[in-house]
Amino acid sequence: MRTVPKFVIGNWKMQARHSYGLQLACDIARGIKEVPPPSFMHTVICPPFTQLAGVHDVLEKEGLNSDVFAMGAQDCYPAASGPFTGDISPQMLTALGARYVILGHSERRQNHGETNAVIRQKVKAATAAGITPIVCIGEHLAERNEGRAASILASQIEGSLTRGFRGIVAYEPVWAIGSGITPSHEELQRKLTLIRSLLPMRLMTDDIRVPVLYGGSVTSVQTPSIMSIKELDGVLVGSASLEAQSFLDIIRAATEATLPQSSS
């Protein structure tokens, strides 16, 4: 019997003040220690760059920097070092204890003009540095309404993932982010089936289950319905990860929804 890991990942974006971020990490860590989730449930928090060192210290102090509770970053540069003013390499992130990095978030695609090709370079650089990429894909509302979601997702998977990709994919429909709207269960199921069918072209094997997460207005209320989708392996949480109790509630809801199907 093999246990498929499940993920609850918090993306703090540019939203937590320094002292608040350290306290938040501490409160989440203590909540997890108080009621430890089963070992298949992996929690990751992704603070802004400036808080990585401090959050790492908190996790070390709480004895929690491990597979089941880890830290990630929100972006990286696609090279190990060089004259790139203002950029941060994946090696710099691993030196601070980051194990994951979010890449190709729609806010970076939109605000920084990141293309699939740039994201693929970042995936390559992160993987070479031993850091697990969490690659975000997702269609805009107009693309969905024009019936183009499938072709957008296909081109993002083909363009952003490396051949033989070994990381995490997060499906984040742009229209669901920060809107309070989540796709219906049926739509999410359809999209997940589609994404699972598209992935083998980049994974180069049918044998590996790359974790696929959902992100966009996730709260503990929708988590059971989201996690009941068999093809899904977790959630990427934005605003609800900025408050310890709401994030812990999501971890608990995801654990409860997964328990009956966790062994396969």
Which residues sit at the interface with ligand 13P, rule CB under 6 A? Answer: 11, 105, 172, 177-178, 215-218, 236-240
Residue 56 annotated to the active site: no
Closest distance between ligand 13P and the C-beta of residue 219, in Å?
Answer: 8
Q: What angle do CA 230, 173, 264 make, to 5 degrees?
A: 15
For ligand 13P, give the closer residue by CB, 178 or 200: 178
Residue 172 annotated to the active site: yes
For ligand 13P, give the closer residue by CB, 31 or 234: 234
Query: Collapsing DSSP states into helix, strand and coil, what is residue 169?
Result: strand
Compute the chain's Rg from CA coordinates. Answer: 17
For ligand 13P, give the closer residue by CB, 161 or 168: 168
* Distance set, CA 82 to CA 28, 85, 89, 96, 152 (Å): 36, 9, 9, 19, 33
Residue number with the shortest CB distance to ligand 13P?
Answer: 238
* Distance set, CA 201 to CA 103, 138, 157 (Å): 20, 18, 9
Q: CA–CA separation, 53 vs 21, rounded Å?
A: 11
For ligand 13P, give the closer residue by CB, 130 or 178: 178
> Nearest to residue 48, comparing CAs of 98, 12, 88, 102?
12
148: amino acid identity, one letter: R
Query: Under a CB-based contact definition with an 8 Å cutoff, are residues 139 and 149 in contact?
Result: yes
Catalytic one of 107, 114, 143, 172: 172
For ligand 13P, give the closer residue by CB, 11 or 51: 11
Residue 264, both tokens: 């396969």
Closest distance between ligand 13P and the C-beta of residue 129, in Å?
Answer: 21
Closest distance between ligand 13P and the C-beta of residue 9, in Å?
Answer: 8
Catalytic one of 42, 56, 105, 114: 105
Closest distance between ligand 13P and the C-beta of residue 1, in Å?
Answer: 32
Q: CA–CA separation, 254 vs 249, rounded Å?
A: 8
Q: Which residue has the tokens 């590996």?
A: 208
Helices and strands per DSSP (H, E), number in the chain:
11, 8
Which residues belong to the active site?
105, 172
